[in-house]
Amino acid sequence: MITGSEMAVIDENAAAMGVPRKQLMESSGHAVARAVREVADADASVRVVAGRGNNGGDAFVAVRFLDGFDVTTSLLGRPDTITTEIARENWAALADGEYRTDAVRDSAAFDLGDPDIVVDAMLGTGIRGDLREPERTAAAAINDSDATVVSVDVPSGLNAETGELAETAVEADRVVTFHDTKPGLDALDADVTVADIGIPAAAERFVERGDLMRLDDRDPGSHKGQNGEVLVIGGGPYAGAPALSAKAALRAGADLVRVACPMVVGRELQGFGEDLIVRPYQGKQLEPRQVGFLLQMARHHDAVVIGPGLGDAEETLEAVEGILSGYSGTAVVDADALARVPQVDTDADLICTPHQGEFAKMGGRVSDDWEERANFVERFAADLGQVVLVKGAYDVVSDGETTRVNRTGNAGMTVGGTGDVLAGITGALAATQDPLDAAAMAAYANGRAGDRAFEERNNGLVATDLHDEIPEVLWTDRGGEA
């Protein structure tokens, strides 16, 4: 099962891989036509009732595959208000092909007639709220008629995000849904078929620009509040690492980032930027006596990043264990802090970000072959019950069930500090997103930022170069087409 918004992610990934949505629409339309042929007698009359989005577009395609039937296509609205280019093109193809079409101006002008079959293509995954006019009147007419109703993707009125059915929803006899079943379809008294529309498996496996659509405010799946507050627990032997993470978190959209660090590096850390809020504690390194204070702070943040620059002193790692075992929010665990993850008992949702060496130390199996590595990481994540992101030329992200692979990034990024940047981006995204999605998007964004920096700096790239590229990658450069 897949929600409408996750479908849009995969769709965009497919487009990024050279399979544009118009091609998918052609397959969708063909599948709808096949379903109509299955229920239609040779002399059946077919009435297509289409909305102005891509759900309607699928039906316009279907009409071209129904030559020989008595088909009339009604568009609910003016042709120039069709919302997407590809739906408009397929509508125009009907007009140019002398197919029988009409555009319904308002509900008073809608007359269903008495067709044998209705193709319900008013609303698909793009629905918001209850049916408005003229869709509402059309749905009532469809439900009053004796026609066999074939719904495209979902019955108009079913919300593919929540599975909720509007009171005025179309009552379908058959549903042809695409790629995978959608929430709510199971509960219907209808014959549901899932049509393969040619989305490459890679569009789900690999992280691509479509994954970043989850950051879109208009995403119907997102009920995220503000953009989150992140606490970085790092520093001691090193001051640069937590600064790199914290700045990356800010660039990745976090509203507030605080860095808790030993007093000895506090001033140096503050020197890295006025945007950083530094909360120094006594001592030269993290020790168990700070656990209480840090846990209290952590509770007031949406996500914690723990590890950058902490070092591996025994007291420090003991304190890490104390923090993780007392914390129940979301934490990104990086660098030396990773060592204690396998033995800690925690209620927190962890996102562990080891490179291959750290992963091996945690007990994971490594491999040079990314597919084999993906299997190893998946099993390790399943045993651990946490999200694991193993960095490499191909990053592997898994929660033990779903495993994603990221291909962005380049050899220039082997320079120190890029892992700290990744941890910071992951923390910012984990403040508002599901942990697995956050890790996948962060790996993609970090690599893309590195690729953009590499274009300018080549092998002279340094970790701070990535910071400036992050906003562009996350919010401007992610493409998207209708």
156 binds, among ligand LP7C6HRI, K ion, none (CB under 5 to 8 A by kind): K ion
Q: Does 177 bind K ion (CB under 5 A)?
A: no
Q: How many other CB atoms sit within 10 Å of the CB of residue 25?
A: 22
Is residue 189 classed exposed, middle or buried when 0-12, 13-18 and 19+ CB atoms within 10 A define those classes? exposed
Cα–Cα distance, 294 to 231 (Å, whole number):
9
The answer to whether 182 contacts ligand LP7C6HRI (rule: CB under 6 A) is no
Considering only residues 116-135, where is the footprint of K ion by CB under 5 A?
120
Calpha distance 250→382 (Å, rounded):
31
Query: Is residue 45 part of an annotated ligand binding site?
Result: no
> Minimum distance from CB of 34 to ligand LP7C6HRI (Å)?
15
Question: Based on CB atoms, which residue is closest to K ion, 55 or 74?
Answer: 55
Is residue 383 marked as binding?
A: no
Is 88 annotated as ligand-binding? Answer: no
Q: Does 27 bind K ion (CB under 5 A)?
A: no
- Cβ nearer to K ion, comparing 186 with 312: 186
The answer on whether 96 is annotated among ligand-binding residues is no
**Spatial separation of the C-alpha atoms in residues 223 and 204, rounded to whole Å:** 23
Q: Is 181 in the site for ligand LP7C6HRI (CB under 6 A)?
A: no
In whole angstroms, how far apart are CA 325 and each of 15, 314, 331, 334, 343? 43, 17, 11, 16, 10
The size of the interface with ligand LP7C6HRI (CB under 6 A), counted in residues, is 31
> Could you give the string, one character per residue 53-92, with x where binding to ligand LP7C6HRI holds by CB under 6 A and - elsewhere?
xxxxxx------------------------xx--------
Do 6 and 160 form a contact (C-beta atoms < 8 A)? Answer: no
State yes or no: 55 annotated in a binding site.
yes
Here the tokens at position 96 are 């140019």
Whether residue 368 is annotated as binding a ligand: the answer is: no
DSSP for 210-255, written as a single string: GGGGGG-TT-TT----S--EEEEE--SS-SHHHHHHHHHHHHTT-S
- Residue 83's contacts (CB-CB under 8 Å, 6 or more residues apart) are 52, 53, 54, 126, 482
Q: CB of 14: closest distance to ligand LP7C6HRI in angstroms?
A: 8
Among 71, 127, 259, 439, binds ligand LP7C6HRI (CB under 6 A): 127
For residues 254 and 304, give the distance between their C-alpha atoms in angstroms, rounded to a whole number. 12
The distance of closest approach from Cβ of residue 132 to ligand LP7C6HRI in the complex, given in angstroms and rounded to an integer, is 4
> How far is residue 170's CA from residue 181's CA, in Å, rounded to a whole number?
18
E-strand stretches of 92-205:
101-104, 117-121, 148-152, 174-178, 191-195
**Using the rule CB under 6 A, is 21 a contact of ligand LP7C6HRI?**
yes
Interface pick for K ion out of 63, 139, 152, 259 (rule CB under 5 A): 152
Q: Which of 213, 305, 198, 250 is nearest to 4 (CA)?
A: 213
Binding residues: 54-58, 120, 124-130, 153, 156, 241, 309, 355, 419-420
Q: Contact residues for K ion (CB under 5 A)?
A: 55, 120, 151-152, 156
Q: Contact residues for ligand LP7C6HRI (CB under 6 A)?
A: 7, 11, 21, 24-25, 28, 51-58, 83-84, 123-132, 135, 152-153, 178-179
